[in-house]
A and B are shown apart, each in its own frame.
Chain A
Amino acid sequence: MSASDDQADVERVVAGDISAFEGIVRRWQTPLVNLAYRFCHDRGRSEEMAQEAFLRAYRALAQWRKDAVFSTWLFALATNVYRSELRRIPAHTVALDEVTEPADTRASDGGLEDQDRDLAIRRAVFALPPKYREAVILFYFHEMDVTSAAQSLSLPEGTVKARLFRGREILRGKLPQLLGVPRLKEAL
């Protein structure tokens, strides 16, 4: 993905060439759909949310200031859309204490099957309180970059770090139980 491609397409769209927006959609559809999926865990809804994000981006394209990276602007806008959408119609979540441990799905090496483990992790993240969940989702979505996560959430880096720390702390307490791994304190 090239920043100059984005800039050229944005300039064409702002000048009135709507078809140039297709280039932006093609380049950013996978990241935006994936980000939406991490927020709602529903394939159909993630596409609807990403479509709404693209539409909002089209409306606000003239407001993009070129001193900011296009992807940062787009992710911040999409994150806002997803957060509002989930406030309007919340995704089906369960409380963290209600996330069940998978039933006897131990593989021959004693651990859980990868698929079950991933599912348990996703459920645990999904059950976090929203402000911690958003920080965790965006931090790992941005490949563990706090600055990018903070920009997407329009929050100071310190706030994101604090939320991330608290979110991981909650997860660290819950994951061993979910994954059938004894806690370090208990093992000692």
Chain B
Amino acid sequence: MNDDEVDRMLSRDDEILASSGFVSRVMESVRQEALVPPPIPFPWKRVVPGLAIAGLALMTLLIALAVTTVRYAGAMTARVSGPFSGPFSMPSSLFHGGIESAVTWTALALAAALLSVKLSMGFASSSV
């Protein structure tokens, strides 16, 4: 069986006609589709400031973490040259910072949480 024979056999396929109500059914579904309001676009204008603030906060956190790590490494080096340094010794800044630094971080976290709640409520109330 050569290619021409295969072509001839496969080319010969019955043509079917759509039923008489096909056009009206399609048009009905199209009209229904047209009645549906278009999907609400994603509110990029409102989201972008929030994303920018979140990005900034993340950057600040990373920088703070890097600074702390560098200070910790410095403190460790100083201790190595000292009389005793254990593997689990903590950075002195954490002990010296003590309650004050914990209070500062807690206050900042609370302020950030409050700000995000206020912003969310503001966006929700303005969109309704």
A residues lining the B interface (CB < 8 Å): 18-19, 21-22, 25-26, 29-30, 33-34, 37-38, 43, 46-47, 50-51, 54-55, 58-59, 117-118, 121-122, 125, 136, 140, 143-144, 168, 171-172, 175-176, 181, 183-184
Chain B, 3-47, CB within 8 A of any chain A CB: 3, 6-7, 9-19, 22-23, 25-27, 29-31, 33-34
Known contacts A37-B16, A118-B14; can you find 4 more A-B pairs with CB under 8 A? A25-B27, A33-B16, A51-B26, A54-B30
Q: Which residues of A contact B17 (CB under 8 A)?
A: 30, 33
Interchain CB contact (< 8 A) of A25 among B3, B13, B23, B34: B23
Tell me if B16 and A118 are in contact (CB < 8 A): no
Q: Is B99 an interface residue (CB 8 A)?
A: no
Q: Which residues of A contact B34 (CB under 8 A)?
A: 18
Q: Which residues of B contact A22 (CB under 8 A)?
A: 23, 27
Tell me how far the C-beta of B32 lies from the nearest C-beta in chain A, rounded to whole angstroms: 9
Q: Which residues of B contact A58 (CB under 8 A)?
A: 30, 33
Q: Is B52 an interface residue (CB 8 A)?
A: no
Q: Which residues of A contact B16 (CB under 8 A)?
A: 33-34, 37, 43, 46
Q: Is B103 an interface residue (CB 8 A)?
A: no
The 9 closest A-B CB pairs, nearest first, are: A33-B18, A29-B18, A54-B26, A140-B10, A25-B26, A58-B30, A25-B23, A121-B9, A176-B1
